[in-house]
């Protein structure tokens, strides 16, 4: 699995999820339920991961959608 992005912006999380769904790229959202621990403050970033095989396609999709600046380093 590769981390595509990490953000506190739930609108961005939703938009990226919709883009990936539309392109039939399976993804996993981690830390979504951490609001229980943080008291709903939104201080713990949510992470979106994709399978290694889908990493390049997902990165290309988000870059073409104008979200390339949100991508995590792919090292």
Whether 75 is covered by a domain: the verdict is no
CA dist., res. 61 & res. 55, Å (int): 10
- pLDDT value for 70: 96
Tell me if 45 is assigned to some domain: yes
pLDDT value of position 60: 97
Residue 33 domain boundaries: 2-70
> For residue 62, what are the contacts with CB-CB under 8 A and spacing of at least 6?
4, 5, 16, 19, 68, 70, 71
Q: Which residue has the tokens 């399976």?
A: 26
Structural domain count, the chain? 1
pTM: 0.85
Residue 31: CATH number of its domain:
3.30.70.790
If the chain, 75 residues long, is cut into consecutive pieces of 10 residues, what is the mean pLDDT of each piece?
A: 93 96 97 64 84 97 97 86
Kindly state whether residue 30 falls inside one of the protein's structural domains.
yes
- Residue at 6 is within a domain: yes
In this structure, is residue 41 part of a structural domain?
A: yes
Q: What is the pLDDT of residue 32?
A: 77
């Amino acid at each position: 699995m590769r981390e595509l992005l990490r953000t506190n912006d739930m609108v961005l999380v939703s938009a990226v999820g919709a883009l990936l769904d539309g392109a039939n790229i399976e993804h996993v959202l981690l830390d979504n339920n951490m609001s229980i621990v943080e008291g709903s403050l939104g201080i713990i970033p949510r992470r979106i991961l994709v399978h290694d095989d889908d990493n390049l396609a997902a990165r290309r999709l988000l870059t073409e959608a104008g979200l390339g600046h949100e991508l995590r380093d792919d090292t």
